Amino acid sequence: MMHGYRFLLYYLWIAPHILLALVAIVMRVKRLDISFPLFALYAWYEVAEFALLFAIAVTKLIQGMLYMRVFLVTLAVSTALRFGILQEIFNNVFREHGRADAIARVLLRWTTGILLVAAISCAILAPGPTSGSLIATTAWLGRGIAIVQCGLVLFLLVFSRLIGLSLQSYVFGIALGFGVLSSVELANWAMRGGDLTESTRKALDLLTTGGYHIAVLLWLAYLIVPAKRVLQHADGPPASVEQWNSELERFLR
Protein backbone atom coordinates (compact mmCIF):
# COMPACT_ATOMS: atom_id res chain seq x y z
CA MET A 1 0.00 0.00 0.00
CA MET A 2 2.77 2.36 1.07
CA HIS A 3 4.79 1.39 -1.99
CA GLY A 4 1.81 2.16 -4.26
CA TYR A 5 1.33 5.56 -2.64
CA ARG A 6 5.00 6.47 -3.10
CA PHE A 7 4.89 5.36 -6.73
CA LEU A 8 1.76 7.43 -7.41
CA LEU A 9 3.17 10.46 -5.63
CA TYR A 10 6.43 10.31 -7.59
CA TYR A 11 4.53 9.80 -10.83
CA LEU A 12 2.30 12.81 -10.11
CA TRP A 13 5.35 14.85 -9.19
CA ILE A 14 7.52 13.96 -12.19
CA ALA A 15 5.12 13.34 -15.10
CA PRO A 16 3.39 16.77 -15.18
CA HIS A 17 6.76 18.51 -15.38
CA ILE A 18 7.90 16.37 -18.30
CA LEU A 19 4.59 17.17 -20.01
CA LEU A 20 5.02 20.84 -19.13
CA ALA A 21 8.38 20.86 -20.91
CA LEU A 22 6.52 19.39 -23.88
CA VAL A 23 3.95 22.22 -23.59
CA ALA A 24 6.77 24.77 -23.75
CA ILE A 25 8.32 23.03 -26.78
CA VAL A 26 4.97 22.86 -28.64
CA MET A 27 4.46 26.56 -27.90
CA ARG A 28 7.88 27.33 -29.35
CA VAL A 29 7.21 25.22 -32.46
CA LYS A 30 3.83 26.86 -33.02
CA ARG A 31 5.35 30.28 -32.24
CA LEU A 32 2.71 30.83 -29.56
CA ASP A 33 5.41 31.93 -27.12
CA ILE A 34 5.40 35.26 -28.98
CA SER A 35 1.78 35.91 -27.98
CA PHE A 36 2.15 34.28 -24.54
CA PRO A 37 5.73 34.93 -23.40
CA LEU A 38 4.82 34.78 -19.70
CA PHE A 39 3.08 31.43 -20.06
CA ALA A 40 6.10 30.03 -21.90
CA LEU A 41 8.36 31.45 -19.16
CA TYR A 42 6.07 29.95 -16.52
CA ALA A 43 6.32 26.51 -18.14
CA TRP A 44 10.14 26.59 -18.21
CA TYR A 45 10.26 28.09 -14.72
CA GLU A 46 8.08 25.29 -13.31
CA VAL A 47 10.33 22.68 -14.95
CA ALA A 48 13.44 24.34 -13.48
CA GLU A 49 11.76 24.63 -10.08
CA PHE A 50 10.88 20.94 -10.20
CA ALA A 51 14.46 20.00 -11.17
CA LEU A 52 15.82 21.98 -8.22
CA LEU A 53 13.37 20.62 -5.65
CA PHE A 54 13.65 17.08 -6.98
CA ALA A 55 17.44 17.24 -6.79
CA ILE A 56 17.24 18.48 -3.21
CA ALA A 57 14.79 15.73 -2.27
CA VAL A 58 16.72 12.92 -3.96
CA THR A 59 20.25 13.88 -2.94
CA LYS A 60 19.08 14.75 0.57
CA LEU A 61 21.76 17.44 0.67
CA ILE A 62 19.55 19.91 2.40
CA GLN A 63 16.36 18.89 4.08
CA GLY A 64 13.68 19.99 6.44
CA MET A 65 13.37 23.72 6.96
CA LEU A 66 15.71 24.69 4.14
CA TYR A 67 13.81 22.55 1.63
CA MET A 68 10.60 24.23 2.80
CA ARG A 69 12.12 27.70 2.35
CA VAL A 70 13.28 26.93 -1.19
CA PHE A 71 9.81 25.53 -1.92
CA LEU A 72 8.08 28.64 -0.57
CA VAL A 73 10.31 31.10 -2.44
CA THR A 74 9.78 29.27 -5.74
CA LEU A 75 6.04 29.05 -4.98
CA ALA A 76 5.89 32.83 -4.48
CA VAL A 77 7.50 33.46 -7.87
CA SER A 78 5.21 30.88 -9.46
CA THR A 79 2.14 32.60 -7.97
CA ALA A 80 3.28 36.00 -9.24
CA LEU A 81 3.78 34.52 -12.72
CA ARG A 82 0.25 33.10 -12.67
CA PHE A 83 -1.20 36.57 -12.07
CA GLY A 84 0.92 37.83 -14.95
CA ILE A 85 -0.38 35.07 -17.21
CA LEU A 86 -4.00 35.92 -16.39
CA GLN A 87 -3.28 39.52 -17.39
CA GLU A 88 -1.60 38.22 -20.56
CA ILE A 89 -4.71 36.19 -21.45
CA PHE A 90 -6.92 39.24 -20.92
CA ASN A 91 -4.68 41.36 -23.16
CA ASN A 92 -4.72 38.74 -25.90
CA VAL A 93 -8.44 38.10 -25.78
CA PHE A 94 -9.74 41.66 -25.68
CA ARG A 95 -6.93 43.66 -27.33
CA GLU A 96 -8.52 43.87 -30.77
CA HIS A 97 -12.05 44.63 -29.57
CA GLY A 98 -11.97 48.34 -28.77
CA ARG A 99 -15.24 48.75 -26.88
CA ALA A 100 -15.19 45.29 -25.34
CA ASP A 101 -11.55 45.86 -24.34
CA ALA A 102 -12.41 49.10 -22.51
CA ILE A 103 -15.33 47.46 -20.69
CA ALA A 104 -13.30 44.36 -19.88
CA ARG A 105 -10.50 46.48 -18.36
CA VAL A 106 -12.90 48.41 -16.14
CA LEU A 107 -14.70 45.23 -15.07
CA LEU A 108 -11.39 43.48 -14.47
CA ARG A 109 -10.27 46.24 -12.11
CA TRP A 110 -13.56 46.07 -10.22
CA THR A 111 -13.51 42.27 -10.09
CA THR A 112 -9.92 42.25 -8.81
CA GLY A 113 -10.83 44.85 -6.18
CA ILE A 114 -13.89 42.91 -5.04
CA LEU A 115 -11.94 39.64 -4.95
CA LEU A 116 -9.17 41.26 -2.90
CA VAL A 117 -11.73 42.60 -0.43
CA ALA A 118 -13.33 39.12 -0.27
CA ALA A 119 -9.96 37.44 0.27
CA ILE A 120 -8.96 39.93 2.98
CA SER A 121 -12.40 39.62 4.66
CA CYS A 122 -12.07 35.83 4.67
CA ALA A 123 -8.60 36.14 6.17
CA ILE A 124 -9.84 38.50 8.89
CA LEU A 125 -13.11 36.76 9.70
CA ALA A 126 -11.81 33.21 9.55
CA PRO A 127 -9.62 32.07 12.42
CA GLY A 128 -5.94 32.71 11.73
CA PRO A 129 -3.32 30.00 11.43
CA THR A 130 -3.99 27.41 14.11
CA SER A 131 -0.28 27.11 14.72
CA GLY A 132 2.48 29.59 14.07
CA SER A 133 4.13 27.14 11.64
CA LEU A 134 5.35 28.27 8.26
CA ILE A 135 2.96 25.91 6.49
CA ALA A 136 -0.08 27.16 8.40
CA THR A 137 0.81 30.78 7.65
CA THR A 138 1.42 29.93 3.99
CA ALA A 139 -1.93 28.13 3.86
CA TRP A 140 -3.60 31.23 5.27
CA LEU A 141 -2.02 33.39 2.54
CA GLY A 142 -2.41 30.78 -0.20
CA ARG A 143 -6.13 30.53 0.45
CA GLY A 144 -6.57 34.26 -0.20
CA ILE A 145 -4.48 34.14 -3.36
CA ALA A 146 -6.44 31.10 -4.63
CA ILE A 147 -9.73 32.98 -4.08
CA VAL A 148 -8.49 35.87 -6.25
CA GLN A 149 -7.13 33.58 -8.98
CA CYS A 150 -10.29 31.46 -9.10
CA GLY A 151 -12.39 34.60 -9.39
CA LEU A 152 -10.27 36.07 -12.17
CA VAL A 153 -10.34 32.88 -14.25
CA LEU A 154 -14.10 32.61 -13.81
CA PHE A 155 -14.52 36.26 -14.75
CA LEU A 156 -12.49 35.74 -17.93
CA LEU A 157 -14.42 32.63 -18.99
CA VAL A 158 -17.86 33.98 -18.11
CA PHE A 159 -17.34 37.50 -19.48
CA SER A 160 -15.92 36.31 -22.81
CA ARG A 161 -18.87 33.94 -23.11
CA LEU A 162 -21.34 36.69 -22.18
CA ILE A 163 -20.14 38.97 -24.96
CA GLY A 164 -20.13 36.05 -27.39
CA LEU A 165 -16.38 36.02 -27.93
CA SER A 166 -15.20 32.51 -28.70
CA LEU A 167 -11.71 32.15 -27.29
CA GLN A 168 -9.17 30.44 -29.49
CA SER A 169 -8.76 26.83 -28.52
CA TYR A 170 -5.35 27.12 -26.81
CA VAL A 171 -6.30 30.37 -25.02
CA PHE A 172 -9.37 28.67 -23.62
CA GLY A 173 -7.17 25.70 -22.66
CA ILE A 174 -4.71 27.89 -20.75
CA ALA A 175 -7.54 29.61 -18.86
CA LEU A 176 -9.28 26.30 -18.17
CA GLY A 177 -6.05 24.78 -16.83
CA PHE A 178 -5.60 27.69 -14.45
CA GLY A 179 -9.27 27.38 -13.41
CA VAL A 180 -8.71 23.76 -12.40
CA LEU A 181 -5.35 24.54 -10.80
CA SER A 182 -6.62 27.45 -8.70
CA SER A 183 -9.73 25.56 -7.56
CA VAL A 184 -7.58 22.62 -6.43
CA GLU A 185 -5.24 25.04 -4.64
CA LEU A 186 -8.18 26.69 -2.92
CA ALA A 187 -9.31 23.33 -1.53
CA ASN A 188 -5.73 22.37 -0.67
CA TRP A 189 -4.87 25.54 1.25
CA ALA A 190 -8.24 25.55 3.00
CA MET A 191 -7.55 22.04 4.31
CA ARG A 192 -3.92 22.72 5.20
CA GLY A 193 -4.93 25.62 7.41
CA GLY A 194 -6.10 23.17 10.09
CA ASP A 195 -4.46 20.33 11.98
CA LEU A 196 -4.08 17.35 9.69
CA THR A 197 -3.71 13.66 10.28
CA GLU A 198 -0.97 11.85 8.38
CA SER A 199 -3.47 10.19 6.01
CA THR A 200 -5.21 13.52 5.23
CA ARG A 201 -1.83 15.12 4.51
CA LYS A 202 -0.98 12.30 2.12
CA ALA A 203 -4.36 12.59 0.41
CA LEU A 204 -3.81 16.35 0.00
CA ASP A 205 -0.38 15.76 -1.55
CA LEU A 206 -2.08 13.56 -4.14
CA LEU A 207 -4.88 16.10 -4.67
CA THR A 208 -2.52 18.99 -5.46
CA THR A 209 -0.16 17.00 -7.67
CA GLY A 210 -3.16 15.33 -9.37
CA GLY A 211 -4.82 18.70 -10.00
CA TYR A 212 -1.58 20.03 -11.43
CA HIS A 213 -1.32 16.98 -13.69
CA ILE A 214 -4.86 17.57 -14.99
CA ALA A 215 -4.08 21.24 -15.67
CA VAL A 216 -0.92 20.35 -17.63
CA LEU A 217 -2.82 17.71 -19.62
CA LEU A 218 -5.47 20.33 -20.47
CA TRP A 219 -2.79 22.80 -21.67
CA LEU A 220 -1.14 20.14 -23.79
CA ALA A 221 -4.41 18.81 -25.23
CA TYR A 222 -5.72 22.25 -26.20
CA LEU A 223 -2.34 23.10 -27.77
CA ILE A 224 -2.10 19.92 -29.82
CA VAL A 225 -5.72 19.26 -30.81
CA PRO A 226 -6.59 21.51 -33.76
CA ALA A 227 -9.56 23.82 -33.57
CA LYS A 228 -11.87 21.72 -35.74
CA ARG A 229 -14.62 24.26 -35.79
CA VAL A 230 -12.52 26.95 -37.40
CA LEU A 231 -10.89 24.66 -39.93
CA GLN A 232 -14.26 23.26 -40.91
CA HIS A 233 -15.39 26.64 -42.23
CA ALA A 234 -12.06 27.99 -43.41
CA ASP A 235 -12.41 27.36 -47.11
CA GLY A 236 -16.03 26.36 -47.36
CA PRO A 237 -18.35 28.73 -45.52
CA PRO A 238 -21.79 27.47 -44.60
CA ALA A 239 -24.20 27.10 -47.49
CA SER A 240 -26.82 28.97 -45.54
CA VAL A 241 -24.90 32.24 -45.93
CA GLU A 242 -26.78 32.95 -49.13
CA GLN A 243 -30.03 32.43 -47.27
CA TRP A 244 -28.77 34.77 -44.56
CA ASN A 245 -27.99 37.34 -47.20
CA SER A 246 -31.47 37.27 -48.65
CA GLU A 247 -32.97 37.68 -45.18
CA LEU A 248 -30.62 40.57 -44.39
CA GLU A 249 -31.24 42.28 -47.71
CA ARG A 250 -34.92 42.21 -46.82
CA PHE A 251 -34.17 44.16 -43.60
CA LEU A 252 -31.85 46.65 -45.20
CA ARG A 253 -34.23 47.54 -48.02
Which residues of the chain form contacts with other proteins (CB under 8 A)?
96-100, 103, 126-127, 143, 146-147, 150, 153-154, 157-158, 161-166, 172, 176, 179-180, 182-184, 186-187, 189-191, 193-194, 228-235, 237-238, 240-245, 247-249, 251-252
**Distance between CA 245 and CA 148 in Å, rounded?**
45
- Closer CB to other proteins, 66 or 165, in the complex: 165
Decide if 104 contacts 87 (C-beta within 8 A): no
**Distance between CA 23 and CA 35 in Å, rounded?**
15
CA dihedral 209, 213, 216, 222 (to 10 degrees): -150
CB of 163 vs other proteins, minimal distance in Å? 5
CB of 167 vs other proteins, minimal distance in Å? 8
Among 173, 182, 169, 170, which Cα is nearest to 212's? 182
- Closer CB to other proteins, 11 or 244, in the complex: 244
- Closer CB to other proteins, 73 or 203, in the complex: 203
CA angle 30, 34, 38 (to 5 degrees): 110
Query: Counting beta carbons within 10 angstroms of the beta carbon of residue 20, is it exposed (0 to 12), middle (13 to 18) or buried (19 or more)?
Result: buried
- Closer CB to other proteins, 59 or 246, in the complex: 246
CB of 1 vs other proteins, minimal distance in Å? 25
CB of 180 vs other proteins, minimal distance in Å? 6
